[in-house]
Structure 1
Amino acid sequence: MFETLDAVLADAAAHLTRAARDRKSPMHVPVVGTGDGDLRMMVLRACDPDIGLLRFHTDARSPKARQLGSHAVASVLAFDAEAKIQLRVKGSARIECAGPVADAAWAASSPYARRCYLAVAAPGSPAERPMSGLPEAVEGIRPSEEQLLPARENFAVLVIEPVSLDWLYLAHDGHRRAQFTRGGAGQDWQGTWVIP
C-alpha cells in the first residue's frame, strides 16, 4: 500500500489538509504540545498542501500564548484509528495576534467561534463556580458583530512551521514507519524509512 516515501508524504499531507477542512476527520483535533511539556487538544484550522504550515486559533491571554511567544518549538500528534495512521509533527511555532494571518483567520471564523474570545478572563483563570467565562449578554446566543468587537484583541493564531514529520502505519502484517525532515520553511522534505 505504501511502497514509496513520496506516497507516504502524500498520505500525510492528505490527512492533515482534510483534517483542517473537515470537522469529521479523526485528525481534526490533534494534541498540541509546547516545549514545557504541556499538552492540549486544539482544532487544526489550516494546513497547506506541502505541510509547510499548520494553523490553530488560541486566546492571546492563554498560558500557551505567553509560553510560545514569537519563537518556540511545538509538536502535534494526530491519529486516524480507521486508517491506522499516526502523525507526529514538530516545528517552529509563533503566536500572531495581529497582521494578515490573524486578521484573515478572524474574518473567516464564525460568530460562535469568535464569541469564545469574549471571555472576561484568560483561560485557566480561577472561577468561583462552573462557568464559561462569557458575559451573560452573549451566553448561549449568536452575538452581533458589534458585540464581538472587543473579542478581537483576545484572538490569536498559533502558527507552526513543521521541520520534522514522523509517519506510522499500524499494519496487521507488520507496521511501516517513515521520517521526514527539512531545514526550514519552503525547503523540500527529505525522507527515510525507519523500523517502527
Structure 2
Amino acid sequence: MPSSPRWVEAVNNALRQHPEHQPTVYQVATVDASGHPRVRTQVHRAFHHPPDRPDLPLLVTSTDARTHKVTQLHASARVELCWWFPGTQDQFRITGFAHVRPAPSPSAPAEPTPIPAGATALEMLRDGGFDWDAKRREAFLAMSPGMRASWCAPDAPGSPLGSYEEQKGWPRRVPAEPETEEDRKNWEMSLGNFALMLVEPVEVDWVELGVKPNRRTAFKREGEGWVEQLVVP
C-alpha cells in the first residue's frame, strides 16, 4: 500500500511535540472575481484520504456555506494555505484544490463546488460513493456547543450589521442533543449553514526554522508519488 508523504508525518510530528502550542488554524487564500487575493483563518479538523491511499491526503476544515469564499471556489478551486507551528518553528505552505460540501437539502444556501480535473483524491471519493454528508455531520458534532452556535447568524458572514446589540439575541449554544423546540430550530439552522471543506494538496513548501542551518523542502505530487527537492531557505 502507498505510504503517507513525508510532509504529513512532519505536520503530525509538529502537532505532537508541542501540544501546548498546538496550532489548529491555518490561513487559506482564494481569489475573488476581480482577481484580488482573499485570505482568512480556518480551523483544521483532521486529515482524511481515500481508502488505502494515504499518499493522497486531504485536509478537512469547514465553513459557512453563505460565505464569499464558497462563491470564489465555484469560480476557481485553486487555493493556498499557510500553516505556522510556533513550537517547532515549522512553516507549511500548501497549494492545491478545495471542495465545499454544504447541506444536501434543496433549501441549502449553496451548491457543492466543482471537483476539477486533477483533483485525484476528491475524484476517487466521488467515484467511490463517499458519504459527504456523513463526514459533514461528523465534523459538526465534534465541535463545541458554542462553536455550533456561530452558524446560527441570521445573515451571511460579512453582511451589514446595525449594531453589536443585535448579536445579543442570537443563539449562544447549540447542544449535541436538542431538548427544546428552540434547540431543534437552532440545530437545523446551524447544521443547514455548516459546510464541509476539503483541501487536496498537490504542492507543499516546508520550511524548518527550528534547526540551524534552516532547511527547506519542496514537495510536488507527480503520478503515484511525491517528489522532494531540497531548496534554499
| Common fold by TM > 0.5 | yes
Q: What residue in structure 1 maps to residue 14 of structure 2?
A: 15
Q: What residue in structure 1 maps to residue 187 of structure 2?
A: 148
Q: What residue in structure 2 maps to residue 126 of structure 1?
A: 160
Q: Which moved more, 1:110-119 or 1:86-95?
A: 110-119
Aligned counterparts of 2:38 and 2:170: Cα–Cα separation in 1 = 33
Q: Which runs of 4+ in 1 moved over 6 A?
A: none
| Contact 1:70/1:95 (<8 A) preserved | no
| Contact 1:73/1:92 (<8 A) preserved | yes
Change (3 A) 1:97 1:131: farther
Change (3 A) 1:131 1:47: farther
Aligned counterparts of 1:78 and 1:172: Cα–Cα separation in 2 = 18
Shift of the alpha carbon at 1:122? 0.3
State the secondary structure of the residue aligned to 1:31.
strand
2:113 is equivalent to residue 79 of structure 1: no
Change (3 A) 1:100 1:132: farther
2:43 is equivalent to residue 43 of structure 1: yes
Q: What residue in structure 1 maps to residue 115 of structure 2?
A: none
Shift of the alpha carbon at 1:125? 0.2
TM-score (norm 1): 0.79
Percent sequence identity is: 31
Aligned counterparts of 2:157 and 2:10: Cα–Cα separation in 1 = 35
| Contact 1:80/1:86 (<8 A) preserved | yes
Structure 2 residue runs of 5 or longer lacking an equivalent are 49-53, 104-132
Structure 1 residue runs of 5 or longer lacking an equivalent are 1-5
State the secondary structure of the residue aligned to 1:42.
strand
1:63 to 68, 91, 96: 68
2:205 to 150, 166, 179: 166
Shift of the alpha carbon at 1:50? 5.3
Aligned letter for 1:46? A
Change (3 A) 1:67 1:131: farther
What whole-Å deviation, never above 9, does each CA across 1:22-74 have from its counterpart, x for those lacking one? 6x544311111113410111111112475711111110001112211386011
| Contact 2:64/2:151 (<8 A) preserved | yes
State the secondary structure of the residue aligned to 1:158.
strand
* Count of matched residue positions in the alignment of Structure 1 and Structure 2: 183
Change (3 A) 1:60 1:110: same
